[in-house]
């Protein structure tokens, strides 16, 4: 089977077969090995289960007991690059936006994780289905959360009634990435109040 065939195999997510109890240590080693190899590669097609197993110090059967194919493993591995959003208190849109911005800033300042994700997302032309799955697993949940938060702000009157939610989302994400890229992650990583500053300036335009 070619590398491309591996990506096309088993399109639908199938239940992982029953077997030995999972080893958290082995799974972490496999995930870490996968991410390391993505970061060292020129593309996802270069990856193989054999290389991942060798880097992780496990047998191929250990991987296949947990993931039915390489695509499933890649989706799970890349999903770990995004910090789960903590529960939003719901007291005010400002407070929840700050929580969200802090998580996004923290992830964006991790140069290694950002590089790995960029490599994966740049494979859309060669592996569209895989990149779509990565997008659904890593990006869409955050987009849904921030969209719901902004719509809540409109409903409560904390935000403008005519707010363009997609544009507001782009403003927040774009500002975070501008800081990370132009400051080299330095100010973004070292400033304890950067999330508050970003949110407060955006709210000056988004508020009623």
Question: Do 98 and 71 lie in a common domain?
Answer: no
Query: Which residue, of 54, 79, 104, is where some domain finishes?
Result: 79
Question: Do 193 and 123 lie in a common domain?
Answer: yes
109-143 confidence digits (pLDDT tens): 888 888 898 888 899 889 999 999 999 999 999 99
For the record, the structure tokens of 142 come out as 């955050």
Any domain includes 87: no
149-184 confidence digits (pLDDT tens): 999 999 999 999 999 999 999 999 888 888 877 766
Sign of CA dihedral 189, 190, 194, 196: positive
Question: Do 74 and 100 lie in a common domain?
Answer: no
Question: Do 67 and 131 lie in a common domain?
Answer: no
Question: Do 127 and 189 lie in a common domain?
Answer: yes
Question: Do 102 and 169 lie in a common domain?
Answer: yes
Q: How confident is the model at residue 206 (pLDDT cuts 50, 70, 90)?
A: confident
For residue 89, the model assigns a pLDDT of 81
Question: Do 115 and 24 lie in a common domain?
Answer: no
Tell me which residue has tokens 């991790």: 110
For residue 18, the model assigns a pLDDT of 45
How far apart (Å, rounded) are the C-alpha atoms in residues 147 and 166?
Answer: 8
Domain that holds residue 113: 93-206
The backbone region for 153, taken as left when phi is positive above 0, alpha when psi lies in -120 to 50, beta otherwise, is: alpha
Any domain includes 180: yes
For residue 15, the model assigns a pLDDT of 45
For residue 69, the model assigns a pLDDT of 94
Torsion of CA 56, 59, 60, 61, to 10 degrees: -130
Average pLDDT over residues 90-100: 92
How far apart (Å, rounded) are the C-alpha atoms in residues 71 and 208?
Answer: 45
> Percent of the chain, pLDDT > 70?
85
Any domain includes 21: yes
User: Mean pLDDT: which of 10-19, 63-72, 87-96 is highest?
Assistant: 63-72
Q: Is the pTM value of this prediction over 0.85? A: no
Question: Do 39 and 108 lie in a common domain?
Answer: no
**Average pLDDT over the chain, rounded to an integer:** 84
Half-sphere exposure of 29 (CA within 13 A, CB side): 16
Any domain includes 88: no
Tell me which residue has tokens 């890229």: 181
> Percent of the chain, pLDDT > 90?
54
Question: Do 75 and 97 lie in a common domain?
Answer: no
Nearest Cα neighbor of 102 from 179, 38, 32, 157 is 179
- Phi, psi of 197, rounded to the nearest 5 degrees: -65, -45
For the record, the structure tokens of 15 come out as 């239940």
pLDDT value at 4 more than 70: no
Question: Do 54 and 138 lie in a common domain?
Answer: no
Give the DSSP H/E element, type plus range, for residue 59.
Answer: none
pLDDT value at 21 more than 90: no
Query: Which residue, of 79, 109, 127, is where some domain finishes?
Result: 79
């Amino acid at each position: 089977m070619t590398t491309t065939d591996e990506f096309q195999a088993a399109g639908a997510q199938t239940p992982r077969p029953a077997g030995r109890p999972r080893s958290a240590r082995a799974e972490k080693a496999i995930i870490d090995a996968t991410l390391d190899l993505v970061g060292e590669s020129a593309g996802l097609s270069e990856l193989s289960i054999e290389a991942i197993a060798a880097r992780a110090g496990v047998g191929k059967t250990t991987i296949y007991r947990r993931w039915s194919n390489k695509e499933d493993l890649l989706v799970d591995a890349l999903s770990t690059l995004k910090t789960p959003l903590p529960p939003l208190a719901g007291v005010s849109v400002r407070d929840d936006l700050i929580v969200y911005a802090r998580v996004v800033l923290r992830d964006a300042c991790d140069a290694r994780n950002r590089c790995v994700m960029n490599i994966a997302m740049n494979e859309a032309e060669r592996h569209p289905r895989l990149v779509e799955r990565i997008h659904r697993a890593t990006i869409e949940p955050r987009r849904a959360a921030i969209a719901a938060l902004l719509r809540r702000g409109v409903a409560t009157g904390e935000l403008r009634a005519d707010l363009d939610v997609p544009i507001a989302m782009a403003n927040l994400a774009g500002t975070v990435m501008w800081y990370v890229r132009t400051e080299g992650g330095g100010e973004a990583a070292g400033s304890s109040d950067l999330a508050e500053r970003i949110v407060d300036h955006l709210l000056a335009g988004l508020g009623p």
